[in-house]
């Protein structure tokens, strides 16, 4: 084995180590992204057509500032009735907004650029990157939507 071959192997190992560290850091940052929504405040609005109340995100300065920002976020896939709809939760299914009573700030809808090659499993941990849309006006949608999303890690 020549010196050039050893040098090439060392370069490859260094690159692999760098990629592993960067991936670990990205996942850590993605899990921290849920903290962006901790200051979310919701107001109850009465819906005449349903004779019931719904919660709507208030447009506070902190929350409005998040609109149209690029984020990377990691969470649990929560299956819903509509196959095309991807819901990501800060918590696993048993503890999520729908089943476990967590707040609306703990879920977001993911709208991918390309349809995934295979279905996501319940509670599968996923990392997405995309453009965050903050919804403070439409009670039919979730409060946080990740547009133009790409799957970073399964």
What pLDDT digit, counting tens, does each position of 95-115 carry? 776 666 778 999 999 999 998
Q: Is residue 12 part of a domain?
A: no
Q: Is residue 5 part of a domain?
A: no
Looking at residue 18, what is its pLDDT?
39
CATH classification of the domain holding 96: 2.40.50
What pLDDT digit, counting tens, does each position of 131-141 carry? 999 999 999 99
What pLDDT digit, counting tens, does each position of 6-34 carry? 544 445 444 333 334 444 444 455 678 99
Which of the two residues, 84 and 144, has the higher pLDDT score? 144
Q: Is residue 50 part of a domain?
A: yes
CA distances from 87 to 1, 22, 116 (A): 52, 26, 14
Q: Could you list the residue range(s) of the whole structural domain that residue 117 is in?
A: 29-153
Buried b (16+ CB within 10 A) or exposed e, 26-61: bbeebbebbebbeebeeeeeeeeeeeeeeebbeeee
Q: Is residue 63 part of a domain?
A: yes
Per the prediction, the chain carries an average pLDDT of 83
Rounded to two decimals, what is the model's pTM? 0.78
Q: Is residue 11 part of a domain?
A: no
Looking at residue 84, what is its pLDDT?
78
Q: Is residue 62 part of a domain?
A: yes
What total number of domains does the chain contain? 1
């Amino acid at each position: 084995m020549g010196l050039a071959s050893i040098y090439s192997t060392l370069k490859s190992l260094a690159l692999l180590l760098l990629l592993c560290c960067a991936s670990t850091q990205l996942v850590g940052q993605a899990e921290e992204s849920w903290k962006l929504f901790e200051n979310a405040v919701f107001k109850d609005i009465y819906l005449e057509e349903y004779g019931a109340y719904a919660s709507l995100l208030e447009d506070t300065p902190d929350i409005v500032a998040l609109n149209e920002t690029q984020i990377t976020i990691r969470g649990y896939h929560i299956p819903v009735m509509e196959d095309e709809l991807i819901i990501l939760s800060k918590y696993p299914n048993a503890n999520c907004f729908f089943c476990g009573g967590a707040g609306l700030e703990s879920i977001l809808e993911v709208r991918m650029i390309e349809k995934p090659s295979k279905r996501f499993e319940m509670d599968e941990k996923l990392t997405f990157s995309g453009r965050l849309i903050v919804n403070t006006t439409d009670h039919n949608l979730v409060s946080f939507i990740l547009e133009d999303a790409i799957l970073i890690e399964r």
